[in-house]
Amino acid sequence: MTRIRVSLSGGDALQQGDASLLEAWQRGSGARIWTDIEDPTEALLEELLERRFGFHELAAEDSLSPNTLPKYDAFPGYDFFVFRAVDVELREHRTQTLKLAAFLGPDFLFTVHAGALPAIDDAFSRLPNDLRMLNNGPDYLLYEIVDVMVDAHFPLLEKIEECVDALHEEIFRSSQPAQLDELLHLKRDVNALRRHSLPQRELLNLMSRGDSPVIQKQHLIYFRDLYDHMFRISETIDSERDMISGTMEAYLSVIANRTNEIMRVLTVLSTIMLPLTLIAGIYGMNFEHMPELHWLHGYPFALGLMAATVLIMLAFFWRKGWIGKTPSS
Amino acid sequence: MTRIRVSLSGGDALQQGDASLLEAWQRGSGARIWTDIEDPTEALLEELLERRFGFHELAAEDSLSPNTLPKYDAFPGYDFFVFRAVDVELREHRTQTLKLAAFLGPDFLFTVHAGALPAIDDAFSRLPNDLRMLNNGPDYLLYEIVDVMVDAHFPLLEKIEECVDALHEEIFRSSQPAQLDELLHLKRDVNALRRHSLPQRELLNLMSRGDSPVIQKQHLIYFRDLYDHMFRISETIDSERDMISGTMEAYLSVIANRTNEIMRVLTVLSTIMLPLTLIAGIYGMNFEHMPELHWLHGYPFALGLMAATVLIMLAFFWRKGWIGKTPSS
Amino acid sequence: MTRIRVSLSGGDALQQGDASLLEAWQRGSGARIWTDIEDPTEALLEELLERRFGFHELAAEDSLSPNTLPKYDAFPGYDFFVFRAVDVELREHRTQTLKLAAFLGPDFLFTVHAGALPAIDDAFSRLPNDLRMLNNGPDYLLYEIVDVMVDAHFPLLEKIEECVDALHEEIFRSSQPAQLDELLHLKRDVNALRRHSLPQRELLNLMSRGDSPVIQKQHLIYFRDLYDHMFRISETIDSERDMISGTMEAYLSVIANRTNEIMRVLTVLSTIMLPLTLIAGIYGMNFEHMPELHWLHGYPFALGLMAATVLIMLAFFWRKGWIGKTPSS
Amino acid sequence: MTRIRVSLSGGDALQQGDASLLEAWQRGSGARIWTDIEDPTEALLEELLERRFGFHELAAEDSLSPNTLPKYDAFPGYDFFVFRAVDVELREHRTQTLKLAAFLGPDFLFTVHAGALPAIDDAFSRLPNDLRMLNNGPDYLLYEIVDVMVDAHFPLLEKIEECVDALHEEIFRSSQPAQLDELLHLKRDVNALRRHSLPQRELLNLMSRGDSPVIQKQHLIYFRDLYDHMFRISETIDSERDMISGTMEAYLSVIANRTNEIMRVLTVLSTIMLPLTLIAGIYGMNFEHMPELHWLHGYPFALGLMAATVLIMLAFFWRKGWIGKTPSS
Amino acid sequence: MTRIRVSLSGGDALQQGDASLLEAWQRGSGARIWTDIEDPTEALLEELLERRFGFHELAAEDSLSPNTLPKYDAFPGYDFFVFRAVDVELREHRTQTLKLAAFLGPDFLFTVHAGALPAIDDAFSRLPNDLRMLNNGPDYLLYEIVDVMVDAHFPLLEKIEECVDALHEEIFRSSQPAQLDELLHLKRDVNALRRHSLPQRELLNLMSRGDSPVIQKQHLIYFRDLYDHMFRISETIDSERDMISGTMEAYLSVIANRTNEIMRVLTVLSTIMLPLTLIAGIYGMNFEHMPELHWLHGYPFALGLMAATVLIMLAFFWRKGWIGKTPSS
């Protein structure tokens, strides 16, 4: 359901309310306004953003479409941004990113998003206690919101790192196809994060370089700080991609190793048993004239022959290093 | 068969017809014209484009050759573009891209293509209801056409994603060489798409930056929007490449896993059976003097010996973790 | 054997002959000359190019050395180019590239090469019928020659693509080491092509941007067209590299699959036969007291035991999905 | 525990002491000061750096946060740097990097770090003997500190190289999963080093290019030298990545080779033994009418049959190249 | 042992001698000097280069340190270069590169190196016969020296290529782990070469672009030529990297193929022998009542049963394509 929250600051006083507060405000009046629109309808956006505030139709459309990547468009009198926030839940291995569209002017900030965004709720509730957030200018308020969104990456990345580490350990104990499947899902998640974080990093780089006219010079350093965090995030993402690849290689090689060990056991046992069976078979033949069968010690002789065969075979395998030398493969 | 469709707008009125309408129009007359040429002969292009309208011979040639990649050439008085549209059918795993060549001037647009293009038909039929498309200038009309072409990528990409997801699931259930073959075909398709989409993205980037003198300033934002869509498309393509690679790795590792499991079963069974067979073979020997044969409980003794062997073997395999401990590999 | 062919155009008339025609020409005389030198000796180049026409010694040396990559050097009054043409024969899997060195001035073109070049022969024979080729300036003639060289890539690339496609099909039918060897050779060929085509593309890019003072402005568009072709060629080369890699992966996975299937057959058969052999072995033992041996139906009982074992085993394998469920692996 | 060490130079005299020395110093007084803060509390940094010396809050925060990557921020009147030093112990395969934050002004240097840094202790103890280090300017002192930090990479990299070389040798002697695990850990270490060294290299490049106003022109060459060392370090890191990858490939192929050899032994032995066992089985059948059984030389005949079978089999394997020809696989 | 060789040219006359000749020369005197220092001590370099000729201490240090990568530092009045020459011996698979440091001024060249460098010896002995080498300026002499060093790469690269080709052939005949080890060593060599050749290429690019003030304009083309050679060298190195990778893939796949073939032989033989052994086992059972045993043709019947089993099995394998159809795998 659509929900509009307006925060209006006229210097020392802050008013927070619904859409009706928008009436009390005019561009250039000195008052600063932040309007947050959650789950808007297309009609509302057209009515409010395009007609009433004259934002460009393409920006208004973009503020709703769910898959837009982080971007920056400069329009006369305002800037349009799209950010993406990670959803901190690793639900069913589907890392989701939520969109935040922002129209930023010298005295206004419009934020549009589908679904609740913790960073928005957080800023809305902190605002009454920290008027500076809006009085420093809407660009500073935007910084505060995006800061929460950016820092939300860190716990998620740690969670992923723990998952990969756990899988790595597990694989060296006992490897199963399900682990590979989980690794592939983690890889997909990390790749998705990477795809969103790279343009976001670029966007923050642009903002920190002073390309946007509505961001005040003295605030550039704050966006530079966000850029540094985002840079560290993408480095961490790359590191996790490497870890996942390494773990996959480990998985395959552990399987290869186990096949190897199984084969060795099979081979050692078969090649010992087969000659013995042959000896037993030979003395089980029914020829009339087989001298050994009539020897007094024929039976112990056959058993001795078998024992000798076993010893020769064991010596052969021991020399090959397949048994005894080391307990490993 | 060659087919020429002309749309001529003289302000409020729009005329749509065949090549004869071209006679009614002159450059710089204020009237705006869109001429679409489908399946032209080389002779016609030479006659019409080179001689009559003075377009450069290389551009005229390029407008017909089937494999040209997206490109932009500036000529005095007009620009020449090549775009590529995806064919939405995933027929026999051959994603095809169709070419659209466009000559764009301040008051004219010539589009040339081999085979029907839905984006062209769509624009032609919408034009009578939305005169603005041509009256805003031929560059805006071109935007409308390319917009349809670009957005046609999304359903195709979704279809590919579904294919890969389905194959991924299937592989973990039962893997077969045919799946690998299908993956390789999908990979080739995605690579082909990528090869066409990267220059197209670059082309739209150029157009949105105002490099082309015949694109009006106020329309740049529309081409910027196309660029953003195309950027998202190439990101999605990269993501699908990763998915396909991951699924191939899954395929190989599922096979390795299965070989492993088969080997284990073979080894466990062989190494249990071979010693038993040996025991049976020994007591099947025909030596005259074999005391066990004459024991009253010789037969149960032999069977007991076999049972003991089985138990020792099972204990060995159980300790190795090959049986019993977990039901997995 | 060294062979010099001179084409001299004095406006409407064209003279073609051997080195003696060089005497009739002077720089800046208005007449345009094209001198082609095939299989020259080092001494001839030094005599002719360095002493007589004053070309730089390094350029003269480069025009003969066989491995030079495509390059462009500007000298006062003339430009020096090296191009590479593919040899259209895929002989013994060795794609060869042939070198063409060119000294280009406002009214002269010297081409030097070892071995016959079809593009040169072609231009030499077309020249009498199309005086425009030389009268437009030696830069236009160079374009005509390089155009033939560039377009000669396409049939070769198609041939390679067909080879790879054929190998791909074959591998899924029956894979053999010879196929891998052929793939590796094709890969090497394609890599060699790539190494020559990338600098050639860059060279044509430079030429089309107007960096060379002896290429006339109105001819830049022709070199731009060559650049576009060369760009398409390198895209195709990249695509073929991907195809070859994909086919190699297919090869390895087809082998893994087959090993898998062989193992399954071996395992199923062994694990069915071994217990049966054991049963036969048991009733072949020579104990005095084996009640079954004296049963009237002892023999059918043993056979029944065997049949029951087979059924249990088959059920086990059927449940594992190794037999019956699907005909595939 | 927090520890503050101050070094104050007023020309020829150097005073070293704790925080109380800070009182004696004022910006622009001509005296040069180096203040090192080890394990500071957040409160201390805020009090000292933000309030007392007016450094920017973001820089003060960054100087404490443990994961910041190497960076450079210019502020009016001072520069802020973050470097990373390697911890020379390869403890439990966890290469750690320690952070050094530095505030550099024309006459002051503040260094902040968590945990002891050898480079800092080293500079602190050398300072009384080499007053030049501080008198040349704080930028030169910073160079001396960072120089020690950069050169500390080399012994670590050599240690890693030795580890990899040792593993490489070992793998060709006897490969074990533990080796792969160790390789994966080394790879992760090297990747972590690479992630820190690349931005550090970039940072030193910036410093050597004269981007920082507080680094004196005549000292740029020293930072250029650090950059060259850092460049060599990242080249060595890349080389070690390649070595680790190569060793991993070696590991997998050694396992594949061993499986191959084991299979060959199994196959040769099985295929020789099975026919012999069959022959013995045949003459162990109890048919009443088996002429061979009654032959005088039936038994030698059977043994001869077996010997012939062995010879035929050996010839077959010899022709296949599985035995005898070479001692290798 | 340290060895100093001085070549002093005063126009038409050349003097070659030891360090004492240095006394006879002064900067700016018109005479040109080349001083080569082989295996210097640190003390000598400090004395000679830093104190006497005033070269920067960092450059003097760099001229001795063994691992410096190719680099270029500009100092007032002279340039400092580091080049690397390959050691043409492929000794124990360790391609070594030797360092040459050069101080280049308008009338002097100091070269410093550890160990004998053929390029230096060559220049020293050619100098008396070709005064031009020094009279053209020390930059031209440097060109002559580096030219020999660059061209020394080609025979080494050819040697590597021959090694790889030979290994490739060998692997398809009979693959062994030692080959893989050799490939890995070759790969490491080639990677080491690549690491030295890329900065060297960049260095020559800088020199040919006229960045160094002590290289005369008319000599730039010579350094451009060196750059082209170096470019070709790095292309060749890349091509050899690809070849080595391809050969490694071939190695692994040849092993996989052989395992496959071995398995097939084992499977075919086992699955034929096991049923026969079972039949023999059945008729070797000692039941009192086994009608077949008493048949007159019981024995031939059993043999016939075996023959039929063999035929059925062979038909099965023939249909599977494992035997007979093609002689290949």
Task: Write out residues in chain A with pLDDT < 70, as ranges.
Answer: 88-95, 324-329
Nearest alpha-carbon partner for B118 in B81, B93, B155, B168: B155
Q: How far apart (Å, rounded) are the C-alpha atoms in residues E154 and B223?
A: 51
Placement of tokens 């006369």 in the chain? A76
Q: In degrees rounded to 5, what are phi and psi of residue E290?
A: -130, 100
Residue C258: helix, strand or coil by DSSP?
helix
User: Could you give the percent of chain B with pLDDT greater than 90?
Assistant: 31
Q: How far apart (Å, rounded) are the C-alpha atoms in residues D225 and D222?
A: 5
Confidence of residue E125 (pLDDT cuts 50, 70, 90): very high
Q: Are strands C97-104 and C108-113 parallel, antiparallel or unpaired?
A: antiparallel
| Minimum-distance CB partner of A280 among B246, B282, B289 | B282
pTM of structure: 0.81
Determine the average pLDDT of the residues in C189-193.
Answer: 87
How far A69 CA sits from the closest chain B CA (Å)? 7
Determine the average pLDDT of the residues in C280-303.
Answer: 85
Q: How far apart (Å, rounded) are the C-alpha atoms in residues E30 and D108?
A: 48
Is the pLDDT at D88 greater than 80, yes or no? no
pLDDT tens column, E154-167: 888 888 888 898 99
Q: What angle do CA B192, B144, B151 make, to 5 degrees?
A: 35
Determine the pLDDT at residue A12.
Answer: 78
Confidence of residue B326 (pLDDT cuts 50, 70, 90): very low
How far D25 CA sits from the closest chain A CA (Å)? 29
Q: Are B256 and A257 in contact (CB under 8 A)?
A: no
Q: What angle do CA E108, E112, E117 make, to 5 degrees?
A: 110
| Minimum-distance CB partner of B293 among C172, C288, C291 | C288
For residue E291, the chain D residue with the least C-alpha distance is D287
DSSP state of E30: S
In chain B, which residues have their Cβ closer than 8 Å to the Cβ of A248? 249, 253
Q: How far apart (Å, rounded) are the C-alpha atoms in residues A286 and D281?
A: 10
Is the pLDDT at E90 greater than 60, yes or no? no
Tell me what the pLDDT averaged over chain D comes to.
87
Is the pLDDT at C32 greater than 80, yes or no? yes
User: Could you give the percent of chain D with pLDDT greater than 90?
Assistant: 30
Placement of tokens 């090694």 in the chain? E163
Determine the average pLDDT of the residues in D74-80.
Answer: 91
pLDDT tens column, D263-292: 888 888 888 888 898 888 888 888 888 888
Determine the pLDDT at residue B108.
Answer: 93
Determine the pLDDT at residue E11.
Answer: 72
In chain C, which residues have their Cβ closer than 8 Å to the Cβ of E222? 58
Determine the pLDDT at residue E104.
Answer: 95
Nearest alpha-carbon partner for C228 in B39, B81, B97: B81
Is the pLDDT at E139 greater than 80, yes or no? yes
For residue D292, the chain A residue with the least C-alpha distance is A287
User: Could you give the percent of chain C with pLDDT greater than 90?
Assistant: 31
In chain D, which residues have their Cβ closer than 8 Å to the Cβ of A250? 180-181, 184
pLDDT tens column, E198-249: 999 999 999 999 888 899 998 999 999 999 999 999 989 998 998 898 888 8
Is the pLDDT at C326 greater than 70, yes or no? no
Q: Are A214 and A78 in contact (CB under 8 A)?
A: yes
Nearest alpha-carbon partner for C259 in D261, E322, E176, A253: E322
Identify any residues that bridge with E8 across adjacent strands, giving them in sequence order.
E15, E33
Q: How far apart (Å, rounded) are the C-alpha atoms in residues E252 and C292?
A: 55
| Minimum-distance CB partner of A259 among B224, B259, B326 | B259
Greater confidence (E157 vs E67) lies with: E157
Inter-chain touch B253–A258, beta carbons under 8 Å: no
Placement of tokens 């002279």 in the chain? E78
For residue D285, the chain E residue with the least C-alpha distance is E284
Q: In degrees rounded to 5, what are phi and psi of residue D26?
A: -135, 145
Determine the pLDDT at residue D179.
Answer: 86
Inter-chain touch E255–D253, beta carbons under 8 Å: yes
Determine the average pLDDT of the residues in C35-54.
Answer: 90
pLDDT tens column, D218-257: 899 999 999 999 999 998 999 899 889 888 888 888 888 8
Structure tokens, A302: 């056959």
Determine the pLDDT at residue E93.
Answer: 57
Determine the pLDDT at residue A245.
Answer: 87
Is the pLDDT at E140 greater than 90, yes or no? yes
In chain A, which residues have their Cβ closer than 8 Å to the Cβ of B140? none
Determine the pLDDT at residue D93.
Answer: 57
Determine the average pLDDT of the residues in C146-171.
Answer: 90
Residue E62's CB: how many other CB atoms inside 10 A?
19
Structure tokens, A230: 């985002």
Inter-chain touch B69–C235, beta carbons under 8 Å: yes
Is the pLDDT at C19 greater than 60, yes or no? yes
Greater confidence (D1 vs B22) lies with: B22
pLDDT tens column, E255-285: 888 888 888 888 888 888 888 988 888 888 8
Determine the pLDDT at residue E24.
Answer: 81
Residue C218 CB-half CA count within 13 A: 5
How far D176 CA sits from the closest chain A CA (Å)? 6
Is the pLDDT at B321 greater than 80, yes or no? no
Determine the average pLDDT of the residues in B178-194.
Answer: 86
CA distances from D238 to B189, B314, D87, D232, E42 (A): 34, 49, 19, 10, 31
How far C228 CA sits from the closest chain E CA (Å)? 23
Residue E281 CB-half CA count within 13 A: 29
Q: How far apart (Å, rounded) are the C-alpha atoms in residues D193 and A235?
A: 12
Confidence of residue E329 (pLDDT cuts 50, 70, 90): very low
Determine the average pLDDT of the residues in B272-279.
Answer: 88
pLDDT tens column, D147-172: 999 998 988 898 888 889 899 888 88
Determine the pLDDT at residue A262.
Answer: 83
How far C320 CA sits from the closest chain E CA (Å)? 20
| Minimum-distance CB partner of A321 among D174, D298, D302 | D174
| Minimum-distance CB partner of B256 among A56, A187, A252 | A252
Q: How far apart are the first and last CA of chain D?
A: 63
Is the pLDDT at B181 greater than 90, yes or no? no
Q: Are D251 and D180 in contact (CB under 8 A)?
A: yes
